[in-house]
Every structure is written in structure tokens, then in C-alpha cells.
Chain A
Amino acid sequence: MGTSNPERPQAPALSGSAHGPAMDNAHHSQGAVYSPDPVRRALLTSLLAASAVSVIPPAFAAPAADAAHDAFLSASQILTGHSSLDPEQASLLYNALIADDAQFADGVQTLAKILDQRKIDLLQLQHALDNEHSLVAALPRKIVTAWYTGIVGEGEKARCITYETALMNVVVNDKLQPPSYCYGAPGSWVQKPA
């Protein structure tokens, strides 16, 4: 991929990373007094190029992943009505959702755009998406189910990601414990809840 300076002696193999494009080697030594070290020049060139190139792949990959993740977060906040959602929980649910549905990352960005730009009333949202035969019509239900029940996927592919922190248990936890957890110390149910 890289070429070394053709008019200078071959520089030894310097680093394992990708070599950059060949440097313009139009410079000629002006005289015996000043002769730029070819090895040093080649070293600096390839290091600079390598560091530039090494940034490129993540720079392309990360924004796409981040964008979908951010879209999921903003869509979740709108759809669940909760403005503050636990980021760790969001990551767990997001990872499960993209594992369950290969189109989820793209779909959620589309959905977020729809929610943001068209500002459809939430009660009409599903109806509107169904009428338009939108590709993302199934997504709001998936997202809300994931947050409220903690379950991602259906049938054999269903996975339980969260339970105690699922919103269905969180919204009532001022009075109740999640099913299978004791209500309180023995006899505490005798007291009136209020």
C-alpha cells in the first residue's frame, strides 16, 4: 500500500500500521551542508499517515452506532413519557433490540426523525404509522414493551433483560414490590397502604 521514497535509499520497515501515501520527494539536497536524513523523514511520514488512518475507521463506525443509540434514547423518552431513563438500562435494552432485529438500528433512527419532525400526538401515532404502512410501525410497541416489561423479542426468541427495574414495577414501587418479592416484613400487610 505505501511506497517509500524512490529517490532515497529504502527506509527500513518502521511500524506495522498502514503506510500512508508516498510523500512528495521533490526535494533535493541543496548542497553537502544540508542533507535531510531520509530515514527520519520516512519515519515521520509513515507515523503521521498511520495516525491519520487509524482514526478513520472508528470515525466512520462510531457516529452510526451512536446515532442509533441516541435515537433509541430520545424515542424511548417520548414513547414512555419518562424524561429520565437509566443509561445503563438503555444500553442493555438497545443491545438486546439490535440483536433481536437486524433492522432496528436503522428503523429507530427513522422513527426518531418522525417523532421529532412531525410531532404526532402519541395517542394517534400507532394509527398514523399503520395507515401509512410505515416500515417502522412495529417499533413503538417493541420499544415500549422493552422498557415496561423488560422483555425483548417474541415467542422462542423472547429474552428477559430487566425485571426489578422494568418500568411496570418502577411506577408502582411506592406501594408495591415486584411479584415474587415479599411485600414487607411479616404482618406489614396489616397496615393500610396509605
Chain B
Amino acid sequence: MIKRGKDLATAADCVACHTGDPSKPFAGGDSIETPFGVIYGTNITPDKETGIGNWSDDDVVRAVREGVAPGGVHLYPAMPYPSFAKMSRVDVLAIKAYVFSLPPIHQSNQETRVPFPFNQRWLMIFWNWLNLKGGELTPDPAHDQAWNRGRHLVEALAHCGECHTPRNVTEGVETSHNLGGGNLETWLAFNVTSDRNAGIGGWSEDEIAQYLLAGNVAGKASASGPMAQAIENSLQYLPETDLRAIAVYLKATSAIPDGSTRPRHAWGQPRRLLHENLSDDPGQALFLGNCAACHGADGAGRGQGLGSYPSLFHHSSVGASDPRNLITVVLHGVNRKMTGIDVFMPSFADVLNDSATAALVNYVRRQFGNGSTNVTAEDVAHLRKGGAANITPLLVGTGAAAAVIIFVIAVIVYLFRRRRPHVAAGT
């Protein structure tokens, strides 16, 4: 049961949010940026004071599947309980058994501070009412075992939709656009539905499974940022049958188009090696000076397999019409710790300023990808800062709070006025 719990915890990637210091697994401290503010992962080791050592089975199940901790404390959906709601009780208890078998670590939780009105956790009751849809998944007899296993992994355990599905105005998952692409400020989690152009319909099952295992498929994509993290911590450890099941399920999802006429990975061509006047093209000069050493003077990359430097053409991050991922990778690099090798690309944030980065990215996209839009130095500066705070939830929340307050005042005023005539008549 503990082994099973460990496998489930790996698939659900608990460490990603509940391990800040790698030497203290599951002791919390990791932070996640949300439009509402920074939320800290808690200590879920069996420590009785600072962890969850005192929690019962029911407590854990309620927290994981309903987002309510002991004492009625509502959790924020940074803890993906809307996805974990689809897990079975047995699975959650297996994870509990695994976690409780780990050494307790005494580490106090960092307090999560978000601005009013979001710090009123009881308001989550309304959010849950709006956004919590569907409970435990039961196998669908209309589909085969691989599909059902894939669905369980994608929708529940690995909670792919939490990143890959767009969010509605309350920042809940928009289930009608399942896996249609998610906005993570500095990253765009791509549409991974079966659509040929907007999604990954042009990928084979082998390629999808390879990507989840290795993070790199020549001529298609390589993983960076949060996806690299998911592969590093979780997906690379899943058995091959699970990876294939995910591939089967993804290839069978409803296609969600986005107007693209070509798949992301179908753009670009190799750079010619003979040129007359390189100094006329600063973007190209920057490419040669910073990128070509590893990615090749022709942009075709170098090597094969796990640690290869990917080709820049026929690469989804370069071919995507949204330049965000490419800019962020140039600024922050890639660091994907795989079994046996660290896949590494250096960060260029200290080497290139905003306008140089923009010139470089525009060249790379024109030559190797989708040069449809122009990137400006302001765009780069924006991403360098981590993207602007999304004010929509702030407005919605403040508006709702203001409405409640006004309503309460109106009621008080009404009641007060109703009493006045009695006082006046008495005089």
C-alpha cells in the first residue's frame, strides 16, 4: 500500500508544491505565484506540531478531495483539489500511508498572505459552489482500459488541466475548454487537445509518450519551465504503460481549434550558412554570438537523445504564435534534471538587455518559427518582471465584497429608519 501510495504521489507530483528545500521532502515552503498573490505549500510530513501528524484518514481525504482542512479551514485551489476530487478514497489513503511513512520534519509553515477580500477563506464556499464540478471518476465502459487509465492520470492524478485548461473569471477551470491551453503569465501551457493545428493531433502516441518520459522529441518540442518541472519530478518516473495511457487519452480528447492553420511544430527552416553582410542584421548577429554555438549555425541543434540540443525549427516553442515561452526560455534558460543527465540551457537575462532580447527573438521567430507578431523591448521587460498581475480576479473579488458591504449597510439603514417614526411620534 505504501509503494502504491508512493507511485500515486509521484504521479500527482506532491513534491512540486510541498517541497521547498530538496533536503526536506514534503516539508513545504515552496511558493506558487497566483493572480491573487503568493501561496505557500504546507508541511505535509507526519510531524505532529508543524505537519499533518494529527490528521485522521477522513481529514486527509476531505482536504485532498474537497479542499477543507481540519477545523473547517478552506484551502485555496492552488492545491488542485478540484482535480483531486476525481480520485478515489482508497487512492488518497494510499498516498496518506506513503506520506506517513516518511520521516517527520519539524518546519513551521510560512503564512500565506493574500489581499482582502481573498484572505477570507470562508468565501471559498462560494468559489467551490461555482467551480467544483464532478466527483470521483468511475471507469467508462464505452472506452478501453488504456483510455480510462489515461483519463484518471490526466484529469485526476497529474491534474494536467490545472495548467493546460483556460480559466474563467473566478479563476476556476473552464471545463468546456478542457486542455485547450492555459495562461501562466510568463508561460503558455499549450493546447494539448487532439486538434491537428491548435493541439497535438499531429503527434503520434509514441511521440507523446516519449515527450512525457524524456522531455524532448526531435522535430516537435522540448520541455522547459513548469512542464520541465512536471517531467522532472513526476512524469519521467511513470511506467511506460501509464505514459501510453496518457497518450491514448489525449489523442481522443475533443479537438479545440484556435484558428491556427499549421501545427506549432511545423514552422521554420534551417539557416543558410552563406551570408553577405551579417552586421546589417543585429538579430542574426546576436543569434550567432549567443545561440549558434549549441543550436548550430543552421539552427538544427546537435546530438540525439536525452541531452541533445534541440533544433530551433520544427519546435513548438519557436513556432507558436504566442512568443511568450520563447522569450522566457531565452531569459531564464532550461534546467531539467533527468535520470542520468541534467538538461541545461543557460539564462541570458544578464547577458542581453530588453531590446537585444527582442531583436534576437524576432530573428529566431522569423527564421525558425512563426514570425507573425513583432516582439518589443516592452514585451520583454514585462516578462522579465514576471508578467503583470492579472487584475480581473482582484476586480471581481473587490466588487463582490463591496456589494456585500453595501447590502449590509443598506439593511442596517433600512432597519434604523423603520424605528425612527416611533421615536419621533413620542416627542
Contacts and interface: CB of A to CB of B under 8 A. Distances in A.
Interface of A: 86, 88-89, 92, 162, 164-165, 178, 180-182, 184-188
A165 B274 contact: yes
B388 interface: no
In order of increasing CB-CB distance, the 5 nearest A-B pairs are A185-B303, A185-B308, A185-B307, A164-B297, A164-B273
Nearest to B294: A182
Nearest to A186: B307
Contacts of B302: 182, 184-185
B271 to A, nearest CB: 10
A24 to B, nearest CB: 51
Contacts of B344: 186
B305 interface: yes
B270 interface: no
Contacts of A86: 274
Contact of A187 (B276, B293, B294, B341): B341
Nearest to B303: A185
A181 B309 contact: no
16 contacts: A86-B274, A89-B274, A92-B276, A164-B273, A164-B297, A165-B274, A180-B293, A181-B293, A181-B297, A182-B293, A184-B302, A185-B302, A185-B307, A186-B341, A186-B344, A188-B303
Interface of B: 273-274, 276, 292-294, 296-297, 302-305, 307-309, 341, 344
A86 B307 CA distance: 33
B305 to A, nearest CB: 7
Given A180-B293, A185-B305, A188-B303, 15 more contacts: A86-B274, A88-B274, A92-B274, A92-B276, A165-B273, A178-B297, A181-B293, A181-B297, A182-B293, A182-B309, A185-B307, A185-B308, A186-B341, A186-B344, A187-B341
Contacts of A186: 307, 341, 344
B339 to A, nearest CB: 14
A188 B309 CA distance: 12
A86 B296 CA distance: 20
B358 to A, nearest CB: 25
Which of B273, B274, B304, B308 gathers most chain A CB within 10 Å? B274
A186 B309 CA distance: 9
Given A184-B302, A185-B308, A162 B274 contact: yes
Nearest to A88: B274
Nearest to A180: B293
B282 to A, nearest CB: 18
A178 B296 CA distance: 10
Contacts of B294: 182
B303 to A, nearest CB: 3
A184 B301 CA distance: 9
A185 B305 CA distance: 9
Contacts of B273: 162, 164-165
A184 B303 contact: yes
Contacts of A88: 274
A22 to B, nearest CB: 47
